[in-house]
Structure formats: structure tokens, C-alpha cells
Amino acid sequence: MIRIIGSYVSPYVRKVLACLNVKGLAYEIDPITSFFANDDFTRLSPLRRIPVLIDGDVTLCDSSVIAAYIDEAYPGPALMPSDPAGRARARWLEEYADTRLGDLFIWGLFYQKCVHHLVWGEPGDQARIEKTLTDDLPDALHYLETELPEAGFLFGEIGIADISLATFFRNGVYAGFEADPDRWPKTAAYVERVLAHPAFAHLLPFEDVQRSVEIRRRREALLEAGAPLTAQTHGTREPRRGIMRL
């Protein structure tokens, strides 16, 4: 059984779970955030980041590395295009999502507006929120408007590029932001299509549970909701700050 360590609400974990769902693979999940993780988690993920994949003797960190492994190690619908040019473009869009959209949606909005208060009991950086909303995020969406299709997915069936881009927009919604369909019509319609795919839609009830329940009761609530949880957890009751950034 494949095991994933990481919160349902993380865009990087959601990305990996959506890839597993597209492949039709069974998995168990230890739905913790990196802030609430023990020392053994640090052994598995030296940068204390989620997700982590454990598949037999294989242990991997980083959502892009994990997604590539899933695609190469298991049969089922391909997550990457078959031609070299398409594969290169898919890798670029995945990288753009993981770096630029991750910085904006997660560290510029979701962390500042949601995590800062819930985990640390501190207000977020309001100046960073305003800059993200006023300058940086519009620039990113203007770029996506030139790259995304009018209908369907980027390379025929849903793949890693679609999954990587769309996952961050769900966290944007959690932080109070949605792409304006009048300003960015292709982007808004595309994100709605991708997130409506069963690979994502299947995860939403568990995300809702995780977001609505107090941190120390989340595991019990997810079990009650039918989430495929691991028997043991790397979670802790008290948070610690990460290595790479706050």
C-alpha cells in the first residue's frame, strides 16, 4: 500500500493525491502538516516539507519527484504528454505552478490569512497580502490567460500540468480569492473544469473536514468521514517552525 504523509489541504499533497486518483491507485494517508510533525518525519523529509511518499522500500520527498515516480512506476493514464515538446511544456508549467503560484497562493495568501493565525496565533503580513492581491497575482493570471486552453485540458486528458496549476487555486478560495471570470475568463473556466474532475472532487469532502475541525481532533474526524488513514501518525500536538521559511 502506498502511503502519503501530508495534509489534505496542502496544494502539494492534493497534487500527489490527484495523480494517484487519476492512476486509480489505492493509498493511505497520514494527514499532518509539517508544522505538527515529529522527529521521525524529519528523517523522512529533511526539509520538513510535505508530501512524503512511502512505497515499499521507496521513500520520496517533493511533489514533482513523487508525481514523476507515480507516472513511471505504475500503469494507467499517463500524466505526461508523449511527445518531447509536450513533455517539456508540461514540466515548465508544473515548475511555474510549484514555484510562482506556490509563492503567491500559499506564502502570499493562505499562510498569511489562515495558517499564521491558526498555528501560531499571530496576524499575517498584511502588506504582503496586499501586494500579492494587487500586483503579483494579477501578473501571474495574465500570464496563465495566454497559456490555458479555451476548453478541455492542456494535453488532451487531465495530466500533471493541469493538476499542478489548478491545485493552488483551491487554497486561493480558502484564503478568499477566486479568479475573476470577467478579467481572466479562460483561467477561471479552466480552473473550474480541472477542480471538478473526479481526481480532485473525491478529495474535497476530506478537505472540508480537515478545515472545519480543530487541529487536535482532525484525525478522528477524518476517520469518521471515511478517509483512508494510516494506522500510525507522525503528528505531534505542538507545532514547530519549518527549516526553509516561516
Same domain, 173 and 213: no
Question: How many domains does one find in the chain?
Answer: 2
Q: Do 126 and 165 belong together in one domain?
A: yes
Residue 245 belongs to a domain: no
Domain match, 88 and 189 both: yes
Residues 47 and 131 in one domain: no
What does the pLDDT look like over 146-204, one tens digit per residue?
A: 999 999 999 999 999 999 999 999 999 999 999 999 999 999 999 999 999 999 999 99
Single pTM value for the model: 0.94
Distance CA 145, CA 148 (A): 6
CATH of the domain at 145: 1.20.1050.10
Q: Grid coordinates standing for 222?
A: 477524518
Residue 179, domain member (yes or no): yes
Question: Closest Cα partner for 136 from 165, 94, 105?
Answer: 105
Query: Are 176 and 210 in a shared domain?
Result: no
Is residue 220 assigned to a domain? Answer: yes
- For 95, the domain range is 84-199
Closest among 20, 40, 36 to 28, alpha carbons compared? 20
If you average pLDDT over residues 46-70, what whole number do you get? Answer: 96
